[in-house]
Structure 1
Amino acid sequence: MSILSEFKAFAVKGNVVDMAVGIIIGAAFGKIVSSFVGDIIMPPLGVLIGGVDFSDLAIILKAATGETPAVTLAYGKFIQTVIDFVIVAFAIFVGVKALNRLKREEAVAPSLPPAPSPEEVLLGEIRDLLKDPQKRL
């Protein structure tokens, strides 16, 4: 099998398409979470700890000289990114847990055929009587 045909077989599989859709949705979800953390969670948290904006927290390693910008260690942005990650991980955990619960309930409750209606029972008895002539008398 040539490399091109192997790649075509791989790319056309449903798992690859599902994965691509998941990555695209995950990227959009990441932007939503980043906005949620940066615009909604961090400002009140900054007020609670004394008006500190996490994105401004940094250690200056080398001061700016002339047109050369300062070299900083921006640990505030790192803290915000860690909080973003924790929220995204928790949201994914809750989603996977819900899906697992649905799969577990589906596996526990096998689908039984519905009980026959009274008309179906009566028609079955009539059929049985017609098959065996001795039962009719």
Structure 2
Amino acid sequence: MADKSFHVEVVSADSKLYSGDATFLIAQTTVGELGVLAGHEPLLGQLVPGGFVVIDEEGGKRLAAAVQGGFLSVTGETVTVLAESAQWADDVDVATERTNLENADEGSDEYNRAHSRIVAAEHLTK
């Protein structure tokens, strides 16, 4: 692992979604968006329902996941995302999720899920 990378684990309640090395990670927490680089100070953050996590892999590929609550643990060498549920953005049908968002009550589980999927998918194009 290079000096500017760190290990990332993304785990949901029912599966391990990712294990690899990254150079940058963004997570949406209850106190705002948080960016993590190698050597970040240790912290524990709560992920928001309807949030997202973005991983810039060591090789340059960007991954994004819609995340429904959970926690983010950062140590000097590792970031662990423990999500209640998560879905990779490249599996998202954005048109369907926009329709779901329009039909859901703001703040509902359906609204949060659709919103997080749309935002995660948008992070793949940045």
TM-score computed with the length of structure 1 as normaliser: 0.18
Choose between structure 1 and 2 for higher RCO, CA contacts under 8 A separated by at least 6 residues. Answer: 2
Q: Which has the larger radius of gyration?
A: 1
